Amino acid sequence: STATATISVTRTGSSVGAVAVNYATSNGTATSGSDYTSASGALNWADGDVATKTFTVSIINDILVEGDETINLTLSSPTNGAILGSQSTATLTILDDDGPSTLRFENSSYSVSEGAGTATISVLRTGSSAGAVSVNYATSNGTATAGSDYTAASGTLNWASGDTAAKTITITIINDTVVESNETVNITLSNQTTGALLGGTNPVALTITDNDSIVIPSSGSGISTASATDGGAAGGGCGFVKDDDNGKGPRAKGEGLSLMIMLIITLASVAIARRLSYKFGFEV
């Protein structure tokens, strides 16, 4: 749609005789043809006429997020002895009414199992849908390491004018066999198109939940009891008791079973992994 701005011009001083003055518009930061329609002409006063005269400038209502823009207004060539006053030029400001697009992650954090294969992250466009917009994305290490825990990803998300559909980022998760704590990947949006804003949490963290566990030998392996304490503490350690084949109780000497276990001990919220190797034997 089109709006109009009305510009007033006054005659002061003597009202004797008929006078006229020319007016014209010119580009400031606004552009004729796309932001407004050029206007020019003459304003006329009859002898004794002191009424205010007006001219109009048509404003073109686009859908671009572009900020406020200006049009120059100029009076010139007064007639019949009239002179121009100090306000012979003026600026008309067009106030932009197109709100910006806001680009943001759909959630403030994400989580994926190590065995899932991929994680999908959604990015939303809210606010104005006018004009095409884009934003870059990239992953970076949190506590997870690119190449061993996940595959680094980067690129650009694009929306056409009027497009408000969610766009997605896919991150490949590497399924290792290491028993480890949950780890994080950072995902960042940046370099959005001029006129668009970044909103919400940025960057966000993707948590990779570990799917590897400690295997404790079952009763079928002959281990009847197992205990573990922090080996670094006084009296700490790890021990196993193995029954003999006829169930007569534990034996402890001779050559026998070699066992490797992984013991995860949590102290002061820090996961400590220790490899322990033990020899178990039996009397003959």
- pTM over 0.85? The answer is no
245, 258, 224, 219 alpha-carbon torsion, rounded to 10°: -80
Instruction: Of 125, 70, 130, 124, give the one whose Cα is nearest residue 98.
Output: 130
Instruction: Of 250, 247, 230, 246, give the one whose Cα is nearest residue 238.
Output: 230
Half-sphere exposure of 280 toward its Cβ, with a 13 Å CA cutoff?
Answer: 19
Please return the burial class of 5, using the count of CB atoms within 10 Å of its CB with bins 0-12, 13-18 and 19+.
middle
Check if the beta carbon of residue 118 is closer than 8 Å to that of residue 173: yes
Residue 266 has what pLDDT?
39
What's the angle, vertex CA 169, arms to CA 208 and CA 202, rounded to 5? 75
Looking at the domain covering 2-94, what would its CATH class be?
A: mainly beta
Residue 179 has what pLDDT?
80
Residue 1 has what pLDDT?
47
Please return the burial class of 28, using the count of CB atoms within 10 Å of its CB with bins 0-12, 13-18 and 19+.
middle
Residue 229 has what pLDDT?
41
Residue 162 has what pLDDT?
87
Cβ-based neighbour number of residue 104 at 10 Å = 20
Give pLDDT tens digits along the chain (284 positions).
468 999 999 999 999 999 999 999 999 999 999 999 999 999 999 999 999 999 999 999 876 667 789 999 999 999 999 999 999 999 999 987 667 889 999 999 999 999 999 999 999 999 888 889 999 999 999 999 999 999 999 999 999 988 999 999 999 999 988 887 899 999 999 999 977 999 999 999 999 998 876 665 554 555 444 444 444 444 444 444 444 445 444 444 333 444 444 444 433 333 434 334 443 443 33
Check if the beta carbon of residue 30 is closer than 8 Å to that of residue 94: yes
Helices (H) and strands (E) in the chain, counts: 0, 20
Residue 98 has what pLDDT?
66
Residue 135 has what pLDDT?
98
**Amino acid identity at 275:** R
What is the distance between the alpha carbons of residues 123 and 137, in angstroms, rounded to a whole number? Answer: 10
CATH topology of domain 101-209: Immunoglobulin-like (2.60.40)
Residue 228 has what pLDDT?
44
What is the distance between the alpha carbons of residues 206 and 109, in angstroms, rounded to a whole number? Answer: 6
Specify the domain boundaries for CATH 2.60.40.2030 within the chain.
Answer: 2-94, 101-209
What is the distance between the alpha carbons of residues 17 and 51, in angstroms, rounded to a whole number? Answer: 14
Residue 217 has what pLDDT?
55
Residue 190 has what pLDDT?
98
